[in-house]
Structure 1
Amino acid sequence: MGESNVNAEREQLLRQFDAGQHLKQLRGDRPLSEISKLMNVSKGYLSEVERGIRLPSDHFIGEIAKVYNTDVDDLFFRWGKIPILSYHVIAENKKLAKTIAEISRRKGLTDEQKERLCDSIHKAYKEVIDEIEAEKK
């Protein structure tokens, strides 16, 4: 296994651990058995997710968001996953997919510069949405 694969695997395991810790915080003092019943999963499975041993399915992440009344997109990102709706939008929009790929492949850009580019895309989106909403009035 190459060094980059080992690093990627290590990063994913850290994400899983951090996401699991976040779940423990969301659960608070509520018993694991109570939450596992609400989610229709075994206590063992939920415990493994909370300890970062298991990577939950997209469906289960959605169930977690419902039970804890928290942002589903935030949970996806905590596990290093792309929300399913975002995936479909990117898959259906060649220009958007190409732009994202070019940003990630662009040599010479720092992570901060890539983040600035993504922030600019998001800002442009918000501006267009505001214009559309204003036109409706």
Structure 2
Amino acid sequence: MAKGKVSKSVEGLGDYLKEQRVKARLSLRQLADLAGVSNPYLSQIERGLRRPSAEVLQQIAKALRISAEQLYVRAGIVSPEEGSHRVVAGSVELAILGDSGLTERQKQSLLDVHASFLALNRAAENSAADESRPTQP
């Protein structure tokens, strides 16, 4: 892997995005404007130097008029499995981000609540595991 690259999946995502952008006959600047991201940031994504969030991928997909799910697969967020897609990580987060009936503030609030519940559950599991360990004399 070339120095400075994030990972092969991100590099492949960047190549795919550039290919889709060229097919759509959009300049880097035009796509950045349509997707609501900065030109340098989009350039870094295309070169495999940055890993975009699911939300940014959704914005880019909308601007390119392609399936966000395709970008999630390319980014390694979603895994293709027997013709359907199974979410590998972040299914709740993706559902929240993909809900067009929510405002950005509502989405962020839901994501914060979800993250706090997960942290509480992890803390409770760790506490229970600590209590079940035998103590050393």
> TM-score scaled to structure 1, two decimals?
0.51
User: Secondary structure of 1:20's match?
Assistant: helix
CA contact (8 A) 2:31 2:64 kept: no
Deviation at 1:79, TM superposition (A): 0.5
CA contact (8 A) 1:58 1:84 kept: no
Aligned residues: 79
Deviation at 1:85, TM superposition (A): 10
> TM-score scaled to structure 2, two decimals?
0.51
Task: State the partner residue of 1:14.
Answer: 8
How high is the sequence identity, in percent, across the aligned residues? 29
CA contact (8 A) 2:35 2:62 kept: no
Determine whether 1:74 maps to 2:78: no
Between Structure 1 and Structure 2, which shows a larger proportion of helix residues?
1
Partners of 1:51 and 1:43 lie apart in 2 by 12
Between Structure 1 and Structure 2, which shows a larger proportion of strand residues?
2
User: Secondary structure of 2:7's match?
Assistant: helix
Alignment of 1:1-137 (within 5 A): 13-28=7-22, 29-82=25-78, 87-88=91-92
User: Secondary structure of 2:77's match?
Assistant: coil
In structure 2, runs of 5+ residues without a counterpart are: 79-86, 93-137
